[in-house]
């Protein structure tokens, strides 16, 4: 039986009431010092972290910051194929992707340049965090999927992947956490939303700064695991933004630490009941 095509309209309109991007000319911070979602400039969104959400993975974690939602699964360490070059240090592999429904506009399934770029940045971050010399001739695979993106997706991926690695029992120097900042004129907005990240300054003077900073920190060792900047920011503004992101990473680290302690406690109680 021949298939029959369903006729579709030549033109389509987005549903009413859906906001597709920041309005041109809008201010990120009001005169009262509040942002569009009611936060002050140095306030991060409430965070929820849960480990052990993927049963078939060696370790996994789910992270939610209001409308930004990320899930991560860790597999390994596993033996590297014989065709790989011999190395006494382990290897890291990262697969980052936005799911098709994660963004405001549907993404084409598959890996594009942005996915590969963020995957490479995650590998660069965790190569300085994971104790690679503890599992020679082996590889750890990190799979990160963004379920919903409302800004700070890379920082959320760093934190979620760190919690998943800890849940898998992979040895690390410290639990690395991520934080982003939108630098807008004299304001530094921690944990920016997607509208704040996409905000374009129509008129940027010579004494004004505008950029987006991504930052990852190992708080216990006070070491920077990753830092990148997009935009034009003067030296003083960059130093101030780095300090603000460092403080944000320390606050996020405490949330992840408490979640890991609770997860280990629940596993211990479950194992104790199973044995008895």
Give the sign of the dihedral formed by CA 193, CA 141, CA 95, CA 116. Answer: positive
Q: Is residue 43 part of a domain?
A: no
Burial of residue 188, with CB atoms counted within 10 A of its CB: 0-12 exposed, 13-18 middle, 19 or more buried: buried
Q: Is residue 11 part of a domain?
A: no
**Max alpha carbon distance in the chain (Å)?**
71
Within a domain: residue 181?
Answer: yes
Question: Distances in Å between the alpha carbon of 144 and those of 36, 63, 64, 185, 264?
Answer: 29, 11, 13, 33, 22
Between CA 49 and CA 256 the distance in angstroms is: 7
Flag whether 24 is in a domain.
no
- As a whole number of angstroms, the distance between CA 192 and CA 41 comes to 9
Q: Range of 168's domain?
A: 48-275
| Secondary element (H or E) of residue 93 | strand 91-98
| CATH label of the domain that carries residue 127 | 3.30.230.70
pLDDT 10s per residue in the chain (276 long)?
A: 555 565 556 665 555 444 445 554 567 888 888 898 899 999 999 999 999 999 899 999 999 999 999 999 999 888 876 666 667 788 899 999 999 888 888 877 777 788 999 999 999 999 999 999 888 888 999 999 999 999 999 999 999 999 999 999 999 999 999 999 999 877 899 999 999 988 865 444 445 678 899 999 999 999 999 999 988 888 888 999 999 999 999 999 999 999 999 988 887 676 655 555
In a domain, 138, yes or no: yes
So what's the pLDDT on residue 155?
95
35 in any annotated domain: no
In terms of Cβ atoms closer than 10 Å to its own Cβ (0-12, 13-18, 19+), residue 205 is exposed
Write down the pTM of the prediction.
Answer: 0.84
Does residue 34 form part of some domain? no
Cα separations (Å) of 15 from 12, 19, 20, 242? 9, 10, 11, 40
The reply to whether 10 falls in a domain is no
- Domains in the chain: how many in total? 1
pLDDT, tens digit (0-9, with 9 covering 90-100), for 204-224: 444 567 889 999 999 999 999
């Amino acid at each position: 039986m021949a298939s029959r095509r369903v006729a579709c309209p030549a033109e389509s309109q987005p549903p009413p009431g859906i906001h597709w991007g920041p309005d041109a000319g809008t201010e990120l911070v009001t005169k009262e010092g509040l942002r569009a979602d009611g936060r002050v400039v140095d306030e991060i969104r409430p965070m929820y972290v849960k480990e052990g959400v993927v049963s078939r993975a060696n370790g996994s974690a789910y992270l939610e910051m209001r409308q930004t939602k990320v899930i991560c699964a860790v597999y390994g360490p596993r033996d590297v194929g014989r065709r790989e070059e011999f190395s006494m240090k382990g290897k890291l592999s990262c697969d980052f992707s936005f799911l098709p429904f994660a963004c405001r506009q549907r993404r084409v399934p598959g890996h594009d340049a942005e996915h590969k770029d963020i995957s490479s940045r995650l590998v660069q971050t965790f190569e300085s965090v994971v104790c690679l010399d503890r599992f020679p001739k082996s590889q750890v695979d990190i799979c990160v999927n963004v379920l919903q993106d409302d800004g700070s997706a890379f920082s959320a991926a760093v934190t979620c992947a760190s919690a998943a690695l800890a849940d898998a029992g992979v040895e690390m120097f410290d639990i690395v956490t991520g934080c982003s900042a939108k630098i807008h004129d004299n304001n530094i907005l921690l944990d920016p939303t997607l509208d704040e990240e996409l905000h374009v300054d129509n008129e940027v003077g010579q004494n004004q700064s505008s950029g987006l900073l991504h930052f990852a920190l190992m708080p216990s060792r006070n070491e920077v695991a990753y830092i990148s900047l997009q935009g034009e920011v003067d030296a003083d503004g960059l130093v101030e933004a780095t300090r603000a992101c460092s403080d944000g990473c320390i606050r996020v680290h405490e949330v992840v630490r408490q979640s890991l302690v609770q997860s280990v406690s629940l596993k211990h109680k479950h194992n104790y009941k199973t044995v008895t």
